[in-house]
Amino acid sequence: MKKMLCLFLAALCLAALSGCGSAGDVIDYDLVFVNQSDAVIVEVVVDFQDQNGGTRNADSSPLKRGETFGFEAGEYPVTVYVYDKVANDVVEGALASLTIDKAPPEGERWYVTARGGADGLTFITSTQLPHPGEV
C-alpha cells in the first residue's frame, strides 16, 4: 500500500511539473499539442500576443508518440514552437513552428498535431482530437 501511494504521488508530481496531460485530460486546455511524430521533441513553447510559456517532461526526456501538452490560451495570434532540447523560452533553433492567427470557434480548442520525423516535421491544426492511429 505504501509503495502504491509513493508511486501515485511521484506520478502526480511529474504530471504537475511537466504541464502535460493525456488525451483524457486535454479538456481543461485551450490549445493542445499532440505528438504523432518520430522526431525528438523535448520542449513545446507557445508565444501568444500577450503571454508565452513552454513545457516539457519533468526529466526533460523526449515526448513519446501520443503524448500531449495543454496550454491556457492568451490573445491570438499564437506561434507554437518545438525544440529538440530544453529551450525555456522562445529562442532560435526550433525544429518547426506554426502560427495560428485566430482563436478557435466558441466552445472549441485548437489541437496542433506534429507528424513526420526529423527529416520533415509538419504540423496539422484542427478543432478535433486526432485518433491515435492516424498518420
Nearest partner of 24 among 65, 80, 66, judged by Cα: 66
Cell output for 78:
499564437
Confidence bin at 133 (pLDDT 50/70/90)? low
Q: Which residue has the higher pLDDT, 70 or 20?
A: 70
Q: What is the mean pLDDT of residues 116-124?
A: 83
Q: What was the pLDDT predicted at 21?
A: 44
Q: What was the pLDDT predicted at 39?
A: 92
Q: What is the mean pLDDT of residues 59-79?
A: 94
Q: Per residue in 10-51, pLDDT tens? A: 443 333 333 444 444 545 789 999 999 999 999 999 999 999
How are beta strands 110-116 and 96-100 bridged, if at all?
unpaired
Spans of all domains in the chain: 2-126
Q: What was the pLDDT predicted at 87?
A: 86
By the 8 A CB rule, do 99 and 118 touch?
A: no
Please give the class, per CATH, of domain 2-126: mainly beta
